[in-house]
Structure 1
């Protein structure tokens, strides 16, 4: 099964394409209604708009063999702790060996951000624009994880 932290996910169509090709369920979890492909393998779960409602809903159902697509590092950490796999929308897999450093970097940047924004007049850089190469890297990463899970069954 593929779980998707869907509110700001830029690869919904790629996830749907992979899920349908592999004949597997994809559940998009969001704070409000989203328009998705009408197919029995594609589902939407509206978790509500509460802070971390979608993250909590995903973390509740994750199990080994589940792939979660999220850019949220703390959700990825929760997914890994429950034995699932986590992949960001640019195709980077979060792993047990990398998640600690990733969380530490996230926390450090959160501490530094107010000082950096003060020096730049509030002009943060933000992530680089999402490109076709990112979409390809994501699909390759998702296929790689799903193939690994299929081999380990």
Structure 2
């Protein structure tokens, strides 16, 4: 069991929850990013820096992930690849991606991408709310409870 964080875009509030959970549960947790991200000293928290480039961090996570692992990401195509490998994927806003909802999320992402490329201003996601931070913490605790042996 391992937790991987798609760390380049993961909010600091979420990383801090993950750091505390790693320390408390002794689950190895690795941030993967194309820049060095500071972490607290812990034998359970790791940083894996990859070269800059399109999807290089995502590709590294897919290469490393195993069916017993959890990946924290807001990247829907990455979540789909993680699910295809039999692992779990959790959004920083607290939504667990599943085989049942990932296709519709991919379709919506592709639709919005098409809209943006045709010039429609869609704006970015809103800032993460306190209720979403709490939803993330709850979903993480449920996953750990269910999967920790």
Deviations, residues 51-91 of structure 1 (Å, cap 9, x unaligned)? 11100000001111100000000000000001100001001
Tell me how large the CA RMSD over aligned residues is. 1.3
Task: Give how far 1:143 is off.
Answer: 1.1
**Aligned match for 1:25, one of 17, 24, 28:** 28
> Which residue of structure 2 aligns with residue 16 of structure 1?
19
Task: Give how far 1:47 is off.
Answer: 1.2
Aligned to 1:97, the other structure's residue is in SS state coil
> Which residue of structure 1 aligns with residue 125 of structure 2?
127
Residue pairs, 1:49-60, within 5 angstroms: 49-60=52-63
Task: Give how far 1:114 is off.
Answer: 3.8
Count of residue correspondences = 146
Unmatched segments (≥5 aa) in structure 1? none
The alignment's TM-score, normalised by the length of structure 1, stands at 0.90
Task: Give how far 1:125 is off.
Answer: 2.9
Unmatched segments (≥5 aa) in structure 2? none
For 2:123 and 2:84, locate their aligned partners in 1 and report how far apart those are by CA, in whole Å.
31
The alignment's TM-score, normalised by the length of structure 2, stands at 0.92
Aligned to 2:51, the other structure's residue is in SS state coil
Q: Aligned pair 1:107/2:104, yes or no?
A: no
Deviations, residues 84-143 of structure 1 (Å, cap 9, x unaligned)? 0000100100000111111011111111224462xxxx4x43212212211111111111
For 1:147 and 1:82, locate their aligned partners in 2 and report how far apart those are by CA, in whole Å.
21
Detail structure 1 runs of 4+ shifted over 3 Å in the superposition: none
> Which residue of structure 1 aligns with residue 69 of structure 2?
66
